[in-house]
Copies of this chain bind each other. A is one copy, B any other.
Amino acid sequence: MNLLVTGTIGIDTIETPAGEHREGVLGGSCAYFAAAASHYGPVRLVAAVGDDFPDEHRGTLAKFPNIDASGLEVRAGSKTFRWGGKYRQNMDERETLFTELGVLEEAPPPIPEAFADSDCVFLANSHPAVQMDFLDRLPNASFVVADTMDLWINTARDDLTRLLGRVTGLVLNYEEAEQFTGYRNPVTAGQKMLAQGPEFVVIKKGEHGAILVHRDGLSALPAYPTEHVVDPTGAGDTFAGGMMAQIAKTGDTSNDGIRRAMAHGTIIASFTIETFSLDRLAAITPAQIEERYRAFAAMLKLD
């Protein structure tokens, strides 16, 4: 399948509990997703940045040969999205220090004509109305997965509900699943969301792994256990990137295909958090990814 991702490319400032601090690093859901996906196959990126977007960050994206960045619009006179976050001692909780929406407050970027045959689409976290606008412009999208966040659950619930009726799958955090449905049990929360349209929901639990609630069955995976957690930013987006790229590669959109693809997402996400920004994703080799995937499969093998 032809994989396309829409979302944000941002400039991040990150503080970690260990006191480490990085300013102005490349971030955004689309950047993380595409960098992860590119390790499994080609990925088309649609996003907008301002004319303040540093050449250095453009160069970083270009280091990933499988990313087709021809859908990256550099908008003159606009500002790139900027986000600052600080992690608490529990690396799964973070505080937003500042948000400068910039280009995200303007019209969404155009989709290049060459991307019109994209059938496997990931709508990274954005206002659900914007996510639907992208869908309107992707007539061949047949396997569509959206991410969302607490902000849209609170401020755009009706749009989010409409979006649910148009996607194949939804990816969201554990707390967000409860917030959206009122049910804390992730299986129950997932079932409630399935009733609104999608075939499956993936509930992300950070260091505790993820749960797949699919029309055809339930499954759960742990995270890859690791001591090397430097910066969890982008873990969820890279999880989705690995998962979607594996689905695009195999074409297996069944419950079992998604479940297996989630394991690839888990592994690529475990690399992301070992450094700031895309540093680790830019450096890992196929052999390193394969080795960790094999170790993960072995620790879960029961028969």
A226-B187 contact given A208-B208, A209-B208, A209-B209, CB 8 Å threshold: yes
Sorting the interface of chain A by its residue count into under 10, 10 to 19, 20 to 34 or 35 or more gives 35 or more
Interface flag for A130 (CB, 8 Å): no
- Copies of this chain, tallied across the complex: 2
- Interface of chain A, helix or strand or loop or mixed? mixed
**CB-nearest residue of chain B to A183:** B227
Q: Which residues in chain A, 281-303, are within 8 Å of chain B measured between CB atoms? A: 293-294, 296-297, 299-303
What 1/0 flags go to A186-213 for Cβ under 8 Å of B? 1110010000000000000100110100
Please state if B208 and A225 are interface contacts (CB–CB under 8 Å).
no
User: Which of A185, A293, A296, A297: most chain B Cβ within 10 A?
Assistant: A185
**What are 21 A-B interface contacts by the 8 Å CB criterion?**
A90-B184, A185-B227, A185-B229, A186-B225, A187-B226, A188-B227, A209-B220, A220-B223, A220-B224, A220-B299, A221-B222, A221-B300, A259-B299, A260-B302, A263-B302, A293-B302, A296-B302, A300-B300, A300-B301, A300-B302, A301-B303
